Structures are given as C-alpha cells and as structure tokens.
Amino acid sequence: MNDLRDIVARSLAAEGALVEPLEPEGLEIVAPPHVQQFLGIAEWSRVGFASALPPGASRITLDSD
C-alpha cells in the first residue's frame, strides 16, 4: 500500500467508514453520513492514488492542479 493510500484508509476507518484496498492503488469506501457530507462523496465511493485508476474511481493526489 502506498503511503497516501494508507493514511487515507486509516483516517476514513477511524471515522467509521468501511475501507477495502482496490487494485491498482485504490480504495473502495462505504462512508457514514458525516464523512459523506464533509468530503462531498457518495455513500459508496472508489478512489485511486496512481496514474492507473480502478474502474469508477476518482483520483486523490497531493499535487496541485
């Protein structure tokens, strides 16, 4: 697991989200309402951290666009 994916997974889990690793370099998330509202995500979401994203995932990066 890459460092950013690990930090995001641990942070979401600490807030009550169900988080599963998803390849390549992604996470599948089932978020409780307060996490959904704070992050502006759906209850079920996929996120990715590399150039190749899992199907249906949104990219998370530390780079500014």
Q: 39 — alpha (psi -120 to 50), left (phi > 0) or beta?
A: alpha
Classify residue 39: in a domain, yes or no.
yes
Classify residue 37: in a domain, yes or no.
yes
Res. 64: pLDDT tops 70: no
Model-level pTM? 0.83
Classify residue 65: in a domain, yes or no.
no
Classify residue 54: in a domain, yes or no.
yes
Banded pLDDT at 65 (limits 50, 70, 90):
low
Classify residue 64: in a domain, yes or no.
no
Classify residue 41: in a domain, yes or no.
yes
Classify residue 18: in a domain, yes or no.
yes
Domain of residue 28, residue span = 3-59
Classify residue 45: in a domain, yes or no.
yes
Mean pLDDT of all residues in 47-54: 88
Tally the domains of the chain.
1
Mean pLDDT of all residues in 27-35: 96
